[in-house]
Amino acid sequence: MHLVPRLASVVLTLGLSASLVGCGFHLKGLSPTSIPVAYPHMKLNLPSEAMHVTDSNNNMIPQKNTLQIKLKSYLSGYGIQFDDAKEAYTLHVLDYHYRRQKLSGRVAEVILYLNVTFQIEDAQGRPVTTPRSINGVKSYQYNVASVNVDDNEQDAVISILIDDVAQQMARQIATNRLPHIQPAPASAPTVTP
């Protein structure tokens, strides 16, 4: 008795859902790609240290995965265009500090630190957001007897560290989760009697 009305409601619901999906109707979600981009055009202003990677002896390590390349890749994926538009915002990296710490022993442990402080500036160079720091830490171990393993592993871990920091920066910029600078309150005029 109750089977026919239930079956009819299920068929009607499925048919209505299929017709809505077929005509292009989609519910709005909260995925990063559905959020309007707050900074549609952008330029990068990075210190020279962010353009390449150096080892503990200040020798340049050839890297195809610098912070600049990674940021452009991830932010472009969020819909941000890198061009010289006159209304383009600037992603200004204020501080880029890479540090390598080696702990000695039978098996050496190396800890790599990367600290990046950045802010967004408008086309006139005025800060739009307060400076934000992103910290990344990665470590690896190697046997002291096999020196080449340290160099190869270090290059891979540095690349992962830069990638991790760039992803964090891109997510915060694309989702507009950076604290904005509050305009200074207007001072009240003084009244003289």
Q: Is 65 among the domain residues?
A: yes
In a domain, 182, yes or no: no
The answer to the question of residue 167 being in a domain is yes
> Residue 15 falls within a domain, yes or no?
no
For residue 150, the model assigns a pLDDT of 59
Per the domain annotation, does 113 fall within a domain?
yes
User: What is the phi/psi pair of residue 20, to 5°?
Assistant: -65, -45
The pair of three-digit structure tokens given for residue 125, joined into one six-digit string: 């160079």
Of residues 106 and 113, more confidence is placed in 113
Structure confidence at residue 119 (pLDDT): 95
* pLDDT at site 62: 60
Query: CA-to-CA distance for 123 and 154, rounded, in angstroms?
Result: 38
Tokens of 102: 């080696």
Is position 24 within any domain? Answer: no
135 falls within a domain: yes
Confidence category of residue 118, pLDDT binned at 50, 70, 90:
very high
Mean pLDDT for the chain overall: 81
Whether the per-residue pLDDT at 69 is higher than 60: the answer is yes
Number of structural domains the chain divides into: 1
Give me the numbers of helices (H) and strands (E) for the chain, helices first please. Answer: 3, 7
Is residue 14 one of the residues assigned to a domain?
A: no
Mean pLDDT for the stretch of residues 21-49: 71
- Residues above pLDDT 70, as percent of the chain: 76
